[in-house]
Amino acid sequence: MNERTLCFGDSLTKGHPGITYLKYFTNKNQYKNMGLSGDTLIGMTNRLTKTLNSKKYKDIAGIIVGIGANDIIQPFLNDYSWMWKLRVKMLHKRGSIPCSNNQQFEEEYIKMIKVLKKNNKKNLIFSIPYLETNRDNLNEKIKEYNKIIKDICMKYNVQFVDYYSWQVLEKSKQKTTGFAFMSKNPLVVGFDTLLTSYLQLTNYISKKRNLGLTIDGCHLNNYASSNLAKMIEKTYNE
């Protein structure tokens, strides 16, 4: 028997770098972290399908999904530096391939939702998070994708948590004025993982960079992650 809820997503779920929201669930043993850093909607859907076809997970309680950030960030990183271009190539080879436009994202998201619905379990989706950055209109693209996600969830009657809107409101309340984005050297992200995910210096790194919600513009700090957990639990357990 495996009656846990599976939490699928990317680095925001995995917690590498930053802090996973699973850490702040009231009953942590009821959830399993299925996050994969750098994953995209297409890559995650393939993993989700394989998992749900496995007898090992036939008795799960439900599924929580947060995916889509890398469908926006990956294309940006591909032109960000030659080191990131190599990293993105490796992610594509692994199967973490981003959608190329809004139409493909909508089509692939519907495919993923149908996989969830076919499983006939309790499901919850949370929005693509806000990026604490002012680079390249990335948040404008996130808003477009989040509207697609919200509309699909309404159409297919899937619980939806609008985490993005909470973050935007919270950022406006805070005194932190900092904006950041990941280094052009992917190794720095690895170093951030060491400092935040293993040495528990998340808040220190976030504060040092004058950020209120993230450690690097993308990955969540303790405060933002704990509030995501609260929002998910409140909706999921209704």
Domain extent for 65:
5-171+224-236
Task: For residue 84, give the CATH number of its domain.
Answer: 3.40.50.1110
User: What end-to-end distance do the CA atoms of the chain give, in Å?
Assistant: 24
Per-chain mean pLDDT for the chain: 93
- Residue 179, in any domain of the structure: no
Please report the pLDDT score of residue 193 as a whole number: 87
Q: Which has more confidence, 161 or 200? A: 161
- Residue 219, in any domain of the structure: no
Average pLDDT over residues 142-148: 98
Question: In a 3-state reduction of DSSP, which class is residue 68?
Answer: coil
Taking only the tens place, the pLDDT of each residue in 184-227 is 999 988 888 888 888 888 988 998 899 999 999 999 999 999 99
Please report the pLDDT score of residue 136 as a whole number: 64
Q: Is 172 exposed, middle or buried (0-12, 13-18, 19+ CB in 10 A)?
A: exposed
Please report the pLDDT score of residue 196 as a whole number: 87
Task: Give, as one character, the DSSP assignment of residue 9.
Answer: E
Sheet strand arrangement including 122-126: 31-35, 5-9, 62-66, 122-126, 159-161
- Residue 178, in any domain of the structure: no
For the chain, what is the domain count?
Answer: 1
- Residue 59, in any domain of the structure: yes
- Residue 133, in any domain of the structure: yes
Please report the pLDDT score of residue 69 as a whole number: 98
Contact 221, 202 (CB under 8 A): yes
Please report the pLDDT score of residue 108 as a whole number: 98
Average pLDDT over residues 140-148: 97
